[in-house]
Amino acid sequence: MRDDVRDDVLKRLSYIEGHLAGIRKMIEDDRYCVDILKQSYAVRRAIEKIEALILNGHLHTCVLEGIRGDRQEQVLGELLELYELANK
């Protein structure tokens, strides 16, 4: 992973950890379930954004190198697996 991508991902991860701590407090304080669920959806959206950043970095490094080298079947198989897992 490039340094600037890693920094961005780690910063977003910190934000998500804070968001989860907020959800924990909402649950402990017995807040309205609908509000808790909306926050939980927002956390999942934020995680998906991190995944897109990591995937983009992966495409431009390992996938490029793998296809130009001799690991073409491996990197393409992994991409398809990731695509299918992401929606499960």
Total residues belonging to the chain: 88
Residue whose token pair is 């909402």: 26
* Cα 9 to Cα 11: distance, rounded to the nearest angstrom: 5
- Which residues contribute to the site for a second copy (CB under 8 A)? 1, 6, 9-10, 13, 16-17, 20, 23-24, 27-28, 30, 32-34, 36-38, 40-41, 43-45, 47-48, 50-52, 54-64, 67-68, 72, 76, 78-80, 82-88
Query: Least Å distance between CB 1 and a second copy?
Result: 7
Q: How far is CA 34 from the centre of its chain?
A: 24
Shortest Cβ 74–a second copy spacing (Å): 10
